[in-house]
Amino acid sequence: MILITGSSGQLGSYLVESIPNSMGLDIEPSKYTKLVWDLRKDPSEILKNYEIDAIIHAAAQVSVVKSVEDPKFDAENNIIGTLNLLEYARKHDIEQFIYISSAAVYGEPQYLPIDEQHPTAPMSPYGLSKLTGERYALLYAELYGLQVASIRPFNIFSPRQDPSSPYSGVISIFVDRAKKGLPLIIYGDGKQTRDFVNVHDVIQLINLVLEKHATGIYNCGTGKATSIDELANIIIELSNKELMIVYDKPREGDIKHSYADISRAKALGFTPTTNLKDDIQRFFF
């Protein structure tokens, strides 16, 4: 049995759907969640009747904004929650532990593309808590022999993003505004770049790590940079509407450029299939 935490979330829900013999756990009930549990508490009790072979830990407090407003809450969820799960894995001889990290651990890039050896300097409590959870997982590998892999996704997109959320991905926000005939708001000059990767590519890499019992850190992206201007124009074209782009002042803490070096993932057999325009049309229009 493969335990998938965060199964009510964007990535976790797709993982439950796509991985055979998997079981979802989350703090909130959903059709993808079999076990409802708060990982800030020891999960041993709720898992006692299950034979768990591997854990994919996708549960997290994912709001950068909320992490800045309440860093203690963020740490309790992302650090203590991870530690509780690692302790369970250690005590029950779990074969594999896959930690879903984030490109937020890198902070402002010192060079591009960003590889796994890039210095880590998070710019938010969220990025720091994800990095701390990752380092705990890798330390458990060293100290206790737990087989650990950490995957650092860049900008995941899927139809299950929530555009009403203040920290949702820019794609779902742009699409939602386009469907309503509203102007697309870009914070900054629009030249900033991101590496947008569809959720199915993230699942592809997780499956490769599972199958090959891979360990260590893996970036998950496309290796391609897309400017926010390019993204906005793609969505305007797909909407078949005459929409304006409005430029607003840059948001504090936003990095200018980011895209992944995915050489390590490719060495496992990872082949990204993301086609931004086609995927946005398929997912949203």
Predicted confidence (pLDDT) per residue in 99-138, tens digit: 999 999 999 999 999 999 999 999 999 999 999 999 999 9
Confidence of residue 191 (pLDDT cuts 50, 70, 90): very high
Predicted confidence band at 167 (pLDDT cuts at 50, 70, 90)?
A: low
Contact 190, 227 (CB under 8 A): yes
Say which of 88, 99, 106, 126 is annotated catalytic: 126
Domain limits, the chain: 2-156+197-220, 159-193+225-258+274-284
181: left (phi over 0), alpha (psi -120 to 50) or beta: left
Q: What is the mean pLDDT of residues 80-85?
A: 98
pLDDT surpasses 80 at 253: no
Whether the pLDDT of residue 64 is over 90: the answer is no
* pLDDT tens by residue, 138-150: 999 999 999 999 9
pLDDT band per the 50, 70, 90 thresholds, residue 270: very high
Reduced to 3 states (helix: H, G, I; strand: E, B; else coil), residue 140 is helix
Q: What's the rounded mean pLDDT across residues 70-95? A: 97
pLDDT of 164 > 90? The answer is no
Fold of 2-156+197-220: Rossmann fold (3.40.50)
Q: What is the DSSP string of 7-50?
A: TTSHHHHHHHHHSTTEEEEESS--TT-SEE--TTS-THHHHTTS
Residues 6+ apart with CB under 8 A from 279: 157, 198
pLDDT reading at 177 higher than 90 = yes
SS3 (DSSP) at 115? coil
Confidence at 166, pLDDT banded by 50, 70, 90: low
Question: Per-residue pLDDT for 251 more than 90?
Answer: no
Averaged pLDDT, 159-173: 82
Does residue 224 surpass a pLDDT of 70?
Answer: yes
14 is catalytic: no
3-class state of residue 197 by DSSP: strand
State the Cα–Cα distance between residues 6 and 59, nearest whole angstrom. 4
pLDDT at 47: 98
Judge whether 194 and 226 are in contact, CB under 8 Å. Answer: yes
Over residues 233-244, the pLDDT tens digits come to: 999 999 999 999
- pLDDT over threshold 90, residue 165: no
The correct CATH number of 159-193+225-258+274-284 out of 3.30.750.24, 3.40.50.720, 3.90.25.10, 1.10.260.40 is 3.90.25.10
Q: Whole-number mean pLDDT of the chain? A: 96
Mean pLDDT (whole number) for 82-89: 98
Burial 232-258 (b: 16+ CB within 10 A, else e): bebbbebbeeebeeeeeeeeeeeeebb
Residue 63 pLDDT level (bands cut at 50, 70, 90) = confident
* 48-57, 63-72, 151-160: least confident range: 63-72
